[in-house]
Structure formats: structure tokens, C-alpha cells
Structure 1
């Protein structure tokens, strides 16, 4: 918050150079072995150090934050077209037991974002805890279905290692079993606590990124193409540095293959009053989140109920409170 915002954009003339510059690719790729090494080291530490229960949990939560950072790296690399980056994405997702994200995010969330059918898009009136109970299991189910359908259509065995859902699940199982055999039963609670806390970082981001925003259905029955105004945006400098410009989410969803270093700010977008880390803290207190964001959402859509992805059970109350109409 103190460092403020940066709304500047790279000139379009230099974007091809930015996208091709190996420096930015290296920065993302080098985080993969760092995340894996730190996760393994903290596992070794908790298994070989006489810790109090609080010390053990604190160490596992620290690893969970590292795993959450790994999920963000996996997000960036998973959008790349080359096989190296795709495999690096799968590897860095493994410690968090969230490899299915590689499938679900690219071919599920990006397709259905800002619609009632998307478990990774939160609805107006939905708090982060009920959202997590809906999003976490449904993300796994959707990833499994996507890969089963893809391979079946291609005439291939969906129960083989060609299945990227099974691939990533196997990577996590091998990683966890190896850690258990090496370090013993003392490391097992660490693995589960760290994995859960890693997932919670991603769920926190998913919750805030599209809160209440809704794409319109076309006469054909399909949804309109994702536009920048279907995501909440933030230009806060510190958290954009930490998150590889994930907060410029509006441009990311409108142009999914655009690299983090060339993501753009657009004027008149749905915008957060703080960076992601600040907004996470607000989201964890539901009444405060609703107080801050519901009014902002209504202003963004100019009170048009047709542009709000709303929790059905809260619709009557919210329509009356904010005097929403169908325009």
C-alpha cells in the first residue's frame, strides 16, 4: 500500500522483444528448483529437529507459503506453449499436491471464467470459506473430466500416463512417498499441512480475482469472450513484483498467452483498493469483504443485476439492499 501503484505499460513496439528476452524466462524457471529445494529442506528440518507443536506447524505453514508461490510459478509456466515450461509447471505444482491445476486452470477456468458454472469464480454474497468448499473439490473433478474426455475423443486410453491429470497426481504421490521413506513418519503431518496451506493461497487468489463479475450469454447459448472487465485488477507495485504481475489479471484473461512482463493496465477496469495480499486479509473477514467489495461491484456494473454473478440464496436480500435492476 505504501509503495503505491504503477499504471505504466510497455510500448507495444517492444513487446515482441520483451516476450523473447531470456532474462524473464530464466527468472520464472529458476524458481522451480528453489521451491522444490526449500520444500524438501523444511521437510528435513521438521523431521530432524526437536520442535514444539507450534514450531512444527509454523515450519509447515512457511513451506505452504513457498508452495503457494510455486503454484503462481506453475500458473505462469503452465500457460507457455513449449514442453520445457509445461513440464516445469507440473514439477513445481507437485509439492502442493495441486498438479491438476495445470489441466483445470488452462482448459477449465479460462474457458468458463466469470460464469455461474465455473467453480473457480466466486459469486456476490459468497464468503471465501464456502467458496473454498465448492472450489477445491470441483477443481479436481473438473480436471479429471477434462482429461478423460480429451483422451477418449482422441481414441486413447484415458487411464494411462498420457492423462495429464494422472501424470501430475503420480508426481505428487512419488514425491510424498519418497519424502516419507527418507524422513520417516515425522514428515507426514508436514506434507499435509504444507499442501493445504499452499492450496489456500491459490484459493484466496481465485476468490478475489473474479468476485461477482459475469460474462453475458450470446443468442447462440455460448458465453461472450472473456474481456478485461471480467476480472478485478490491481497495479500495486510490491505485490505485482512478488506475484509476477498476476494482479494484472484483466489482461491475462483477455490474452492468456501474454507473458507476465508485458501484461498491461487498462483504464476503467474493476480495480481493487489494495494489492492481493491486502485483499486476502480483507477476504478472510467476510463481513469486511462484503462491506468493501459489494458496493464496489455494484458501482462497476452500474447497478445492473444482469452483469452480476450472484449467489442465488442471497439474491433477494442483495437486490433489495443495493436496489439492483435488470437493465
Structure 2
């Protein structure tokens, strides 16, 4: 009889997840160097430059990791408090970063391009906050759910807590979802559909929940209003301290943070479509309904957000145990590199449309089209529906 015991699983990325704390800290470096080293405006571009230049390059140089933890190790991996402590630690870092950047703009005379650099840095902080709120908001503990709301409040995007969990995850990769982009739809057209659509869906979902329980939509039980009140208090205090002149900076920062989420939503499900069954319901969301990326550095910086396929198939699974699967739709770079491509629509279409067509094997019935461009795209790429209907 073989009595050899399997070696205990060791997470090789255990300490690399600390990158998720270090990268957001870069938004503090620029103002600190400007004030304490020399008033050089280039310092203020450190955080945006690292995010949009260094991270895509590092993803190329470091490559991808397709390894998965063994399933028998997952319960212990998810129970390990170390991974939760990292997410908890990021909350005060993000709040400190946002407040420091706002105070910096409110107290230092800067030219417009200096303010732009800080907007991108502080907006990036809000973007990391949305990612953290995404991770924590799916969890069942009251602490994690409240930390999600507190973090989302930085960028006035607390409604994401409701919209993402109860809206996007239900309708993902269907025409009904404002947070799923369509083939032929530019990120800018998507933005005007997704940003208002997300808020209105969140409000409707929360109003329905409260109505069923016999409570007013204007009560403090409203999970859209809870983080919104935190946002109002935070922004009011900052304006009270530094004057109404700070308001444009705060609004631009909140917008850029929201646009980071829009950018992620745009690339995560581009053109992918769940099939509608004969009973009128969509098939269950599967890993192949999300674009995946295993690029190392950006996954360390984003709590494995880029293993989005497993996340949608198993939304309560914690970041350290998300898996890769064979034959998934795959992005050619991590999210930060793909953002840059998405911001140039002709380049995005040239890169992603052929990948989408290859993924669905030319079956137009598996593509979520921008309606006004469907005929043009079908003719351009010679797309046709498969003959088999989904039972």
C-alpha cells in the first residue's frame, strides 16, 4: 500500500500579492517628491506612467502564469486570513492616497498639465478602489461588504455594489446588460450606455428589494444611498477645507475612476454572447463568456481580476484561488495594455474582432453585436449563424 502523503500546497504568489498594495501607493510618491525633493512636475506623472507604460511592458517581459491551485488545497487557501488582511490593508491606503492628492491640488499652485497628472493618479486610486470593492463586495461577511462600500465611496461609485452583484452577474454577456460591450461598439459609445445604465439598474434593483421588504427607498437600508452619503460627507469636508475651487478636481477624479471601471467592463466581455434557450432564458454563464488574461504583473496588481472567466462562473471564489481553463477567450496583454488599445477604436477592432471571430468559430449567433453595425460586420467578416439551435 502506498503511504506517501502529498506535499502541502505552497502558493508561489503568496507574497507577490503585496504588489496590489504597492502599485496604488505610487499615487503618493509624486506629490511627496514634488514637496520634499524638488517642484518638478514630472514627479506627478510617476503613477500614470507606471500604470500605462511600465505595467504593459512588465506583462510582456514576465509573461503569463496558467497554473492553478489543486482543488483539495482551495478550502485552506481561502480560509487563510493573510489574503484577506491584504485587502483590508488596501482600504486605508486608498483613502490616504485620495485625500493627500486632493489636499495637494487644493494647496499647491499647479499648471493645467500638473493638475491633469494628479487627476489621473487620484482617479487611478479610485479605479483600484473599484477593483477592491469588486473583490470585497462579492464576499458574505459584513466587514468585507462594508469595506467595499467605504472604498467605492471614494469615487462616488457606491451603486456598483448593487449593480455588479445583482445586475451585471445576472445579465452578463447579453444585450440586456449595459456593462457588456458589443462587437463594433467603441469604448466611448459604450461609456454613454454603461455609466448611466449601471446607476439606473442599481437604483431599480435596490428599490425593488426595499419595496418587497416593505421599506422606503429613501431609508438608510438603501445600499445605493449608504456609500453615496459617505461620498457626500468626504467631498463636503474636502471642499470645506480647500474651497469650492477643489470641486472640478474632485469631479474629474471621480469621472476618471469610473472610466477605469468602464474600461475594464469594455474589455472583459467584448462581443461575447450567452445563447438564449427555447424557454426564453439565457444559458448559464460559463468561463468562455469572459475574456481572460494570465499576465503576471497586472494580475498581481489587481487581485487576479483578469482571471475573469472563473470569477463569473464562481463569483464568491476568492482571488487567490481563481483558476485558468483551457480554450478560454484570451487577451494579448493585461488590462492596462488593453486599455490603451481600447482608447484607439480602429486599433481595438483590428486586434479584437479577429480574436472574437476565432473564439466563436465564425458563428454569428454567438456574438453580441452593436445592432447598427451587425449587417456591416457580418458582411465584412463573412459571418453566419450555426445551424444547430441550443436546446
How far did 1:171 drift? 1.5
Residues 108 and 142 in structure 1, CA contact (< 8 A), matched pair in contact too? yes
Report if aligned partners of 1:18, 1:262 keep a CA contact under 8 Å in 2: yes
**In the aligned structure 2, how far is the partner of 1:13 from the partner of 1:311?**
43
1:155 and 2:218 matched: no
Looking at structure 1, the residues matched to 114 and 382 of structure 2 have their Cα atoms a distance apart, in angstroms, of: 50
Structure 1 position 221, deviation (Å): 1.3
SS at match of 2:276: coil
Query: Offset of 1:6 from its aligned partner?
Result: 0.2
- Say which SS state the counterpart of residue 121 (structure 1) adopts: coil
- Of residues 3, 23, 27 in structure 1, which corresponds to 2:86? 27
> Are 2:262 and 1:203 aligned?
yes
Per-residue deviation, 1:201? 0.7
Q: Residues 60-98 of structure 1: CA distance to partner in whole angstroms, max 9, x if unpaired?
A: 221011111111001000010000000000000111110
Residue in 2 aligned with 1:302?
361
| Contact 1:46–1:186 (Cα < 8 Å) also in 2 | no
Write the distance in 1 (CA, Å) between the matches of 2:232 and 2:197.
20
Deviation string, structure 1 residues 189-218 (Cα, Å, up to 9, x no partner): 221111011011110000000000000112
Q: For residue 13 of structure 1, what is the aligned residue in structure 2?
A: 72
1:186: Cα distance to partner?
A: 2.9
Hey, what does 1:145 align to over in structure 2? 204
* Partners of 2:298 and 2:309 in 1: CA distance: 16
> Corresponding residue for 1:225?
284
Q: Distance between the aligned counterparts of 2:141 and 2:262, measured in 1?
A: 27
Structure 2 SS opposite 1:218? coil
Q: Comparing 98-107 with 49-58, which one deviates more in the overlay?
A: 49-58
Paired position in structure 2 for 1:83:
142
Q: Which residue pairs with 1:271 in the alignment? A: 330
> In the TM superposition, what whole-angstrom CA distance separates every residue of 1:106-134 from its partner, at most 9, and x where no partner exists?
00000000000000000000000000010
1:291 aligns with 2:347: no
| CA distance in 1 between partners of 2:249 and 2:379 (Å) | 47
* Aligned position for 2:314: 255
| Structure 1: gaps (5+ residues) | none
Cα RMSD (Å): 0.8
**What residue number does 1:94 align with?**
153
Between 89-98 and 45-54, the greater mean CA deviation after superposition: 45-54
Report the equivalent of 1:2: 61
Flag structure 2 segments of 5+ consecutive residues without an equivalent.
1-59, 387-391
Aligned partner of residue 224 in structure 2, secondary structure: helix
Instruction: Report the CA distance between 1:56 and its aligned residue.
Output: 1.8
Provide the rounded CA distance (Å) in 2 between the counterparts of 1:244 and 1:174: 29
In structure 2, how many angstroms separate the alpha carbons of the residues matched to 1:250 and 1:57?
A: 34
Question: Which structure would you say has the larger Rg?
Answer: 2
Moved over 4 A (4+): none
Report the CA distance between 1:13 and its aligned residue.
Answer: 1.0
Q: Partner residue of 1:59?
A: 118
Map of 2:49 onto structure 1: none
- Which residue of 1 is the match for residue 192 of structure 2? 133
Instruction: State the Cα distance separating 1:318 from its structure 2 match.
Output: 0.6
- SS for the counterpart of 2:89 is helix
What secondary structure does 2:221 align onto?
Answer: coil
Residue 167 of structure 2 is matched in structure 1 by 108
**1:57 Cα deviation from its structure 2 partner:** 2.2
Number of residue pairs aligned between Structure 1 and Structure 2: 327
1:118 alignment partner in structure 2: 177
**TM-score between the two structures when normalised by the length of structure 1:** 0.99
- Aligned partners of 2:228 and 2:170: how far apart in 1? 23
